[in-house]
Amino acid sequence: MTDLEKRQDRSPVPSAFEYASAPESRDIVRLEERYSLFVGGEFVEPRSGEFQPTVNPATEEPLAEVAFAGEEDVGVAVQAAREAFENGWSAIRPAERAKYLFRIARILQERSREFAVLESLDGGKPIRESRDVDLPLAAAHFFYYAGWADKLEYAFVNRIPRPLGVAAQVIPWNFPMLMLAWKVAPALAAGNTVVLKPAHTTPLTALLFCDVLRQAEVPPGVVNIVTGDGRAGAALVRHPDVDKVAFTGSTEVGKDIQRAVAGTGKKLTLELGGKAANIIFDDAPLDQAVEGIINGIYFNQGQVCCAGSRLLVQESIYEPVVAKLKRRMATLRVGDPLDKNTDIGAINSREQLDKITELVAAGEEEGAEIFQPPCRLPERGWFFPPTVFTNVAQSYRIAQEEIFGPVLSVLTFRTPAEAVEKANNTAYGLSAGVWTDKGSRILWMAERLRAGVVWANTYNRFDPASPFGGYKESGFGREGGRHGLEPYLRFER
Ligand code: NDP
């Protein structure tokens, strides 16, 4: 028997396994009909007078009306943050600042079920993920940065760190609460105050977070939440009284922000898109690798900047890997995000679904071979089945552009050097995965891959102590770890 035959998987195709639905109750969430802006520690009516509904992507039902801030509202929020910075927050003892962060972390843990249900309702992600990943990690970020708040001089030895002032933070819709934590926790630990704009399709957990701020007795104005669309984001990053801009989102908007901020002296970090390679060598444990491929691309419906959206498989194991992958895909359950059995929830918005549909059509037109396991999609809401493309050329749009959906493109390679070349053949550089039995090969690959994060024999694993960020069109600056404090500090020495 040849090596290849030995590795071919002959297990039977699993028959459809019927689960009884196990929906998480939404009663734990109490929604207001209408939400205004959170400025200076209280909810204030928007001067713009504008409200828009936020919609449950799994049912297309409106959940609540949410204020859309105008330029004047943004100005009021920045002023509140400035006053809070000048009038105490920057001067309180660092150990006191830590106390607030610890409180926030503990309250998030206590209320995590409420937050997880709300996150899934507003954003469409499976409750299994919001409950087991987003919320625990969000709390962990506050715990982690609480620990640094009174140890900054140890984080930066022989330097004198000082806060910058007001941080303007614009976050996307794919990890609303987690991105809030990634941004707010280091900013506060470093002694800054914050104005944060959530995405207009997922504002509700940021608004519930205002309640946590009050419960934790965080002084008014230290964190301000201005909801709205891209106009509010654009006004916020351009406001002259902002000292630091942190953005996560599309490369296109990131470039626009970089142009707007250039020459103003504001510090900037950009965490943008990606087109990560998940690289499988022939000595990898294949069943584990297939789980890693599934997690890499179907986690959060593939709406993940670091998603392993390009699978690079060593040629000698191409057939068994693709066969195992297709079989595993057939077991994924697509449907109600609040059902605890669901693996793939709803796509966040109609626009995102249209973008995925358009790119998948382009893949078929360009000549790639599509596979989608048979699955019943809910009649209402925005859903897309798990999809894999084989026969993909590197020049195809599906191999070059960020799809931000549950769509995987498979390419092959023969040698480690070819794997590196193909993996780096992208405008992005956020993350990569390497699956192999050899530690030396992992290190060899990691040194050569132009990616901010390289996972070895795992994928999409996050830890607050570990820095995250990109190269090239994936942005610059790091979030997480000690590195994540630096963008929020200036140094007197
Ligand atoms: P955007 O970059 O438009 O959105 C990210 C955030 O920026 C949102 O809060 C958005 O507000 C805000 N925003 C929009 N325009 C501006 C502006 N001119 N100035 C300042 N802030 C602005 O991403 P999209 O939601 O349009 O998604 C498009 C694509 O971007 C996705 O398909 C995906 O490929 C990529 N993306 C990458 C993410 C990542 O994590 N790296 C996250 C999200 C998207 P609002 O949403 O309210 O309009």
Residue 356 near ligand 1, beta carbon < 6 Å: no
| Residue tagged 């071919």 (tokens) | 8
Q: What is the structure's pLDDT at 16?
A: 59
Residue 249 near ligand 1, beta carbon < 6 Å: yes
Q: Name, in order, each residue with C-beta under 8 angstroms of 200's C-beta and a sequence gap of 6 or more.
A: 52, 54, 66, 68, 227, 228, 229, 230
Measure Cα distances from 210 to 12, 107, 149, 237, 475 in Å. Answer: 51, 12, 21, 21, 29
Ligand 1 atom closest to Cα of residue 175: 40
Residue 490 near ligand 1, beta carbon < 6 Å: no
> Which of the 8 DSSP states describes residue 217?
T
Q: Report the C-alpha gap between 412 and 64 in whole angstroms.
A: 47
In the reported structure, the alpha carbon of residue 251 is separated from the centroid of ligand 1 by a whole-number distance in angstroms of: 8
Say which of 305, 306, 473, 486 is annotated catalytic.
305
In the reported structure, the alpha carbon of residue 46 is separated from the centroid of ligand 1 by a whole-number distance in angstroms of: 22
Residue 229 near ligand 1, beta carbon < 6 Å: yes
Ligand 1 atom closest to Cα of residue 475: 41
Q: What is the structure's pLDDT at 17?
A: 66
| Residue tagged 């205002």 (tokens) | 210
Q: Give 340-404 as a DSSP string.
A: TT-SB---S-HHHHHHHHHHHHHHHHHTPEEE----PPPSSS-----EEEES--TTSHHHHS---
In the reported structure, the alpha carbon of residue 469 is separated from the centroid of ligand 1 by a whole-number distance in angstroms of: 17
Q: Report the C-alpha gap between 5 and 3 in whole angstroms.
A: 6
In the reported structure, the alpha carbon of residue 273 is separated from the centroid of ligand 1 by a whole-number distance in angstroms of: 10
Residue 248 near ligand 1, beta carbon < 6 Å: yes
Q: Give 361-375 as a DSSP string.
A: HHHHHHTPEEE----
Residue 230 near ligand 1, beta carbon < 6 Å: yes
Residue 199 near ligand 1, beta carbon < 6 Å: yes
Say which of 24, 119, 129, 271 is annotated catalytic.
271
Q: What is the structure's pLDDT at 19?
A: 79
Q: Which helix (H) or strand (E) holds 33?
A: none
Q: Report the C-alpha gap between 14 and 326 in whole angstroms.
A: 11
The two beta strands, 42-44 and 387-390, are unpaired
pLDDT tens for the 493 residues of the chain, in order:
344 333 444 444 555 567 789 999 999 999 999 999 999 999 999 999 999 999 999 999 999 999 999 999 999 999 999 999 999 898 899 999 999 999 999 999 999 999 999 999 999 999 999 999 999 999 999 999 999 999 999 999 999 999 999 999 999 999 999 999 999 999 999 999 999 999 999 999 999 999 999 999 999 999 999 999 999 999 999 999 999 999 999 999 999 999 999 999 999 999 999 999 999 999 999 999 999 999 999 999 999 999 999 999 999 999 999 999 999 999 999 999 999 999 999 999 999 999 999 999 999 999 999 999 998 899 999 999 999 999 999 999 999 999 999 999 999 999 999 999 999 999 999 999 999 999 999 999 999 999 999 999 999 999 999 999 999 999 999 999 999 999 999 999 8
- Tell me whether residue 210 is one of the annotated catalytic residues: no
- CA-nearest residue for atom 38, ligand 1, is 249
Q: Report the C-alpha gap between 479 and 464 in whole angstroms.
A: 9
E strand residue ranges, 30-146 = 34-35, 37-39, 42-44, 50-56, 61-68
Residue 270 near ligand 1, beta carbon < 6 Å: no
Describe the chain by its helix, strand, coil percentages, rounded to 5.
40, 20, 40
- Tell me whether residue 271 is one of the annotated catalytic residues: yes
Q: What is the structure's pLDDT at 493?
A: 85
Ligand 1 atom closest to Cα of residue 229: 47
Q: Report the C-alpha gap between 177 and 382 in whole angstroms.
A: 21
In the reported structure, the alpha carbon of residue 172 is separated from the centroid of ligand 1 by a whole-number distance in angstroms of: 6
